[in-house]
Amino acid sequence: MRMSMGLQARLVQTQKLAPRMIQSMEILQLPMLALQERIEQEMNENPLLEQQEGDTMGVDDVDDINPRDNRSEDEKELVVRDSGDNSEDFERLQNMVSELPSTFDDSFRRSSNRMQEEADRRHDMMANAQSRPESLNDFLLHQLAELDIDDEVERVAERIISTLDARDGGYLRTPLADLLPSDHSAEQFAVAEEALRVVQSLEPVGIAARSLSECLLMQLRPEFEHFEEMQKLIGEHLEDLAANRLPQIQKATGYSIDLIQTVREELQVLNPKPGAAFMETYVPNVTPDIILEQDDNGDYKIRLDDDRVPMLRISEYYRRRLQDPTCSNEEREYIKRKINGAQWLIESIEQRRSTLTKVAEAIVEHQKKFFEDGPEAIEPLKMQQIAEKVGVHVTTVSRAVNDKWMQTPRGIIPLHRLFVGGTQTEDGEDVAWDTIRLKLQELIDNEDKSDPLSDESLVKKLAEEGMTVARRTVTKYRKRMGIPSSRQRKDWSLAKK
């Protein structure tokens, strides 16, 4: 094998993505609250950006400073055009394999007034911040600290509590032996068992159970009307109960079907995941970007709810300073860079406004029946259809509808909710999957519970309605809707009559 060193010239095609393109796509994708935060951040970092009352300053006002005709190809508009789909720009984004180089970050010192405003905002955020709820582990440890128990038992109980996870319902998944030294004695294991009994005596009832049956049994009380029957069904027939195999339970226990069903209903008051109440749930603060209203003629009109987005302009002071003969070359270059950045931001916000309006209008026009007649009238719609109608790349539509909400006469709904797949009826008419799911729910709600419809029977019923659907599709959507199988839906008290 021969090795050598030398110089070679090669022609290599590389992917390049300008900061201007990145910013345009980021601004388009931001929901309303995030856009407000982004603008505030940009105003803090760019002293040439100012908020004004009235219309946003036109970018043509600064063309004498930084003419758009002199921009490089990468700095030209990316997202919104009246013609063209910007496919090349987005292909470059998707194929990008390297990160952008770091940019020169310099800014003038902020004024004392601006720093005071930021301090006030931080104070308000801290004052209005929601306090963190007590965790399951903290809740149990507080109870444990109030008990008068042996120190060794308490230490092992603390180890047990540390393994419990609210997301798992508070079950003990770790064997007791794993919480002890590998060479533990029988006395140490007995201490661990005592510690487990202590933890299981804490609130919520059923915590630290090692199985579902143990969790439910811990919640039973002698005062329950069918205490003994509940014990037997949980301890010996829980799987049959979950699968609705009531005749097998009847044969094994001698209980009547009516009694078994009564006990099953009483068991539903028990909590299979007692620790789940301590899960931290995140409820997003939804602010609609788009308002859909009807005028006096019944026509739907789109309006962007961007009144809270500040109108921006480029500082007149710095524009005059740029023309001042005393302005140094270094200061002049700095102001030009900041003006260029401010101009990019203003244009990106305007592009976002234009894109959202056009996309929303196209969606509403296609889904007019949905807004008039309800969810059952929704029609199949793909993002590619809207992209072709608006004249943009499909990636633009995807970014425009991402995390955006529309306030409509039927409530606040996410824009992506209006994009649904579908199939065709025997007559060739398009039918959305949402419509099929609603029909599927209707058929199951109205079925004979003594002889529920199998998935194959549901396929035939849908076919009678002109909806041709495969059995595996019915099974998939039934499971997604949380609907049990026909065997599990059967009411055995009706079947015997």
Torsion angle of C-alpha atoms 6, 7, 10, 15, degrees rounded to 10? 100
- The pair of structure tokens assigned to 126 is 């801290």
Which residue from 438, 439, 392, 386 is spatially nearest to 416, judged by alpha carbons? 386
Q: What is the mean pLDDT of the chain?
A: 78
CB-based contacts of 442, cutoff 8 Å, min separation 6: none
Check residue 345 and give left, alpha or beta (phi > 0: left; psi -120 to 50: alpha).
alpha
Instruction: Tell me the percentage of the chain whose pLDDT exceeds 90.
Output: 26
Give 390 or 19, the one with higher predicted confidence: 390
Check residue 364 and give left, alpha or beta (phi > 0: left; psi -120 to 50: alpha).
alpha
C-beta separation of 195 from 208 below 8 A: no
Per-residue CA distances from 186 to 158, 160, 200 (Å): 20, 18, 21
Per-residue CA distances from 22 to 3, 76, 472 (Å): 43, 12, 42
pLDDT at position 18: 54
Q: What gap in Å lies between CA 57 and CA 54, rounded to an integer?
A: 9
Neighbouring C-beta atoms of residue 39, cutoff 10 Å:
19
pLDDT at position 33: 84
Instruction: Indicate the pLDDT class of residue 424, thresholds 50, 70 and 90.
Output: low
Q: What gap in Å lies between CA 195 and CA 187, rounded to an integer?
A: 12
Q: What gap in Å lies between CA 421 and CA 235, rounded to an integer?
A: 45
Pairing of strands 405-408, 290-294: parallel
Give 139 or 73, the one with higher predicted confidence: 139
- The pair of structure tokens assigned to 179 is 């919480």
Neighbouring C-beta atoms of residue 340, cutoff 10 Å:
17
Q: What gap in Å lies between CA 428 and CA 423, rounded to an integer?
A: 9
Neighbouring C-beta atoms of residue 397, cutoff 10 Å:
26
- Look at the block and give the residue holding tokens 């059995």: 471
Highest mean pLDDT among 190-204, 416-430, 459-473: 190-204
Q: What gap in Å lies between CA 155 and CA 160, rounded to an integer?
A: 9
Most distant CA pair in the chain, distance: 103
Listed in sequence order, the DSSP H helices in 208-315 are 212-219, 227-236, 238-242, 246-253, 257-267
pLDDT tens track for 296-309: 888 889 898 888 78
pLDDT tens track for 147-174: 888 999 999 999 999 999 999 999 999 9
pLDDT at position 323: 85
Collapse the DSSP code of 8 into the 3-class scheme (helix H, G, I; strand E, B; otherwise coil) and give the result.
coil
Name residue 260's amino acid.
Answer: I
Q: What gap in Å lies between CA 470 and CA 56, rounded to an integer?
A: 54
Strand partners, 300: 294
CA angle 288–291–296, rounded 5-degree value: 160
> Can you say whether the dihedral through the CA atoms of 51, 53, 55, 57 is positive or negative?
negative
Q: How many CA atoms lie within 13 A of 31 on its CB side?
A: 14
197 φ, ψ to 5°? -60, -35
C-beta separation of 366 from 381 below 8 A: yes
C-beta separation of 49 from 349 below 8 A: no
Give 70 or 331, the one with higher predicted confidence: 331
pLDDT at position 297: 84
Least confident of 83-97, 257-271, 425-439: 83-97
CB-based contacts of 45, cutoff 8 Å, min separation 6: 105, 107
Name residue 245's amino acid.
Answer: R
Please state the pTM of the whole predicted model: 0.57
C-beta separation of 49 from 43 below 8 A: yes
